[in-house]
Structure 1
Amino acid sequence: MTNRQLAALETKRKLLDAAKKIICEKGLTNTSVAEITKACGVANGTFYTYFKRKEDVLFELSEEVFGSILEKSQAYEGSFTERLVYFMTSFSRYIEISSLKLCQEWVRNTVDPDLIENSANKTKLERDILAVKELIEDGIKRGEVKADTPVDMLAHTLTDILYGQMLCWDMSGGKHSFEERTKEFCDNFLNSIILPYLL
């Protein structure tokens, strides 16, 4: 990688970090591109080299983290069920520690998929469903999950549960722990959902 490419990556990282900090404090609506670029010491135009609009920052922030969560879940040593629990609790933990405000802003600004543009043309929801699908397909390849498992249906169901819990956490103003609620679900109900598909 050239020095120029490294510098570009560093600038983009600074913009993402500054945007996350400011959005967590003020909310996306009250955050301007000028504030983000000022915090990084770059011109306003630099922002638009990397993002079309400030809403795209939210997508980018979630994209990199949740890709890492999937990789760690696939590498997690344990059974298929343990890898799935690791994914679901890591998903909810990251959202919770990233701040309620950031999550509320993300929900507000990404609930309409037409508002978010990304190179793969997939919404966050679609990417999360694909991540769960990959975990299930990995379980099939490892001989832990039946080959005739309805992968799409199961991936949608588990993602719906995570998103429902996230929305309830948002709407409650964070009155309960999203991560703890996810752990409770996994402890009490996950086995009954996936048991018919396990070998």
Structure 2
Amino acid sequence: MYYIIGRRMNMGKRQEAALETKKKIIEAVKQLLEQKSPEEISIEEITKKACIAKGSFYTHFKRKEDVILEIDFQEYAFLKDDVSRIQGVEQQLSYYLIQSVKIIEKNSLSVARQWMKGAVAPLQEEKAGTRKYRFDYDNILSILNNGIDQKELKQTTPVEILTEMMMNQYYGAVASWCILGQERSLVSMMEHYCQYELKILLQDYQ
């Protein structure tokens, strides 16, 4: 019995140590991003800043882009809270879509390209891109369902279809930006969509 308890305590300590290492990596990347662009940051710099072995980095992340996306998810969580304080389903959707791509654009093309690869991978593979896709899908769907609950949208509104249409537009814009790079602003593309096409998309259900 004491042996089992001891093993559990050791496992708990190992889990705490692993969590602490992951936090160190994330914090190191946050600090480096204040000084450099994502492309300029190397794994060696991250591990040196975090005071960990290089192998410890790969225990938690496959690449630096995955760390940056993890940091982004912290911002996405705040974004979700912000949306709940906005009145109006169209305004909520516009805010979510525009602010979300601002987070993407502020990082780099390499980060966006990395999670776009994951987004088109089989959904059974838990990659950064598929996690982001599910997060966006669930949030857009939630906003639309809330619009029905608040009687801003008709009960017959095809929320799943509308969500898919918005997701196609959203990820299509990100894909275009990944290809064209600095030739087009991702935020401008999404602002144009929200100002014109989103309004038309919703008007038959309001």
- Smaller-chain TM-score range? 0.7 to 0.9
- CA shift digits 1:43-66 (9 cap, x unpaired): 234425544x22643542343222
Computing the radius of gyration from Cα coordinates, the structure with the larger value is 2
Report SS of the residue matched to 1:149: coil
Give identity over the alignment, percent. 24
2:103 counterpart letter in structure 1: Y
Q: Aligned pair in 2 of structure 1 residues 9, 109: CA closer, same or farther (>3 Å)? A: closer
> 1:59–1:116: 8 Å Cα contact kept in structure 2?
no
Paired residue for 2:51, among 20, 24, 41? 41
> 1:145–1:197: 8 Å Cα contact kept in structure 2?
yes
Distance between the aligned counterparts of 2:153 and 2:126, measured in 1? 35
Q: Aligned pair in 2 of structure 1 residues 153, 175: CA closer, same or farther (>3 Å)? A: same
Distance between the aligned counterparts of 1:93 and 1:197, measured in 2? 28
**What's the CA shift for 1:141?**
1.9
**What's the CA shift for 1:150?**
1.1
> 1:165–1:178: 8 Å Cα contact kept in structure 2?
yes
Distance between the aligned counterparts of 2:29 and 2:122, measured in 1? 21
Residue 128, structure 1, aligned to residue 136, structure 2? yes
Residue 61, structure 1, aligned to residue 80, structure 2? no
> 2:25–2:46: 8 Å Cα contact kept in structure 1?
no
Paired residue for 2:38, among 20, 24, 31? 24
**What's the CA shift for 1:155?**
0.8
Unaligned 5+ segments in structure 1 are none
Unaligned 5+ segments in structure 2 are 1-15
> 1:113–1:123: 8 Å Cα contact kept in structure 2?
no
Aligned length: 188
**What's the CA shift for 1:163?**
0.6
Q: Which residue of 1 aligns with 2:110?
A: 101
Residue 137, structure 1, aligned to residue 145, structure 2? yes
> 1:37–1:47: 8 Å Cα contact kept in structure 2?
yes
CA RMSD of superposed structures (Å): 3.2
2:84 counterpart letter in structure 1: Q
Paired residue for 1:164, among 143, 162, 172? 172
Q: Which residue of 2 aligns with 1:183?
A: 191
TM-score scaled by length of structure 1 = 0.77
Residue pairs, 1:145-164, within 5 angstroms: 145-164=153-172
> 1:92–1:179: 8 Å Cα contact kept in structure 2?
yes
Question: Greater relative contact order (Cα 8 A, min sep 6): structure 1 or 2?
Answer: 1
Q: Which residue of 2 aligns with 1:89?
A: 98
Distance between the aligned counterparts of 1:186 and 1:102, measured in 2? 24
1:14 counterpart letter in structure 2: E
1:93 counterpart letter in structure 2: K
Distance between the aligned counterparts of 1:12 and 1:157, measured in 2? 37
